[in-house]
Amino acid sequence: MAIVSLKAWRARSAERAAAGARLKATLTEALGLGPGDALSVNEIACADPGCPEMETIVLVMRAGEPTRALRIRTTMEAVTADQIVALVVEEAAGRGPGTP
């Protein structure tokens, strides 16, 4: 078992929080969320075979609509612009035709 210093753990925690905040701001704009909407971005361990060790789960909570859970199969720090575009397309498809 590796021993991690408290200083290194705090630095890594701050990096992850900053990456999450940047991704959340990017997704909020890309998804066109308004003031009554909410977004949650979290990184979790994935136990499914063929799944990366960590993945990013995005919960899109639009006012008056059911919450949608979307998955990006990489860490928050590694999310690409193409993956953001794919997530926006997936979220729009899940909302149905004619939904802004």
The answer to whether residue 24 sits within a structural domain is no
pLDDT score for 16: 85
pTM: 0.81
Q: Which spans in 3-71 are helix H? A: 6-30
Cα(35)–Cα(62) distance, integer angstroms:
10
What average pLDDT does this structure show over 28-40? 95
The answer to whether residue 18 sits within a structural domain is no
pLDDT: is 57 or 49 the higher one? 57
Tally of domains within the chain: 1
Domain that holds residue 90: 32-100
pLDDT score for 1: 57
The CB-based long-range contact list for 25-29 (8 Å cut-off, 24+ gap) reads 26/84, 27/58, 27/84, 27/87
Cα(29)–Cα(47) distance, integer angstroms:
31
The answer to whether residue 91 sits within a structural domain is yes
Mean of the per-residue pLDDT values for the chain?
A: 88
Question: 58: helix, coil or strand?
Answer: strand
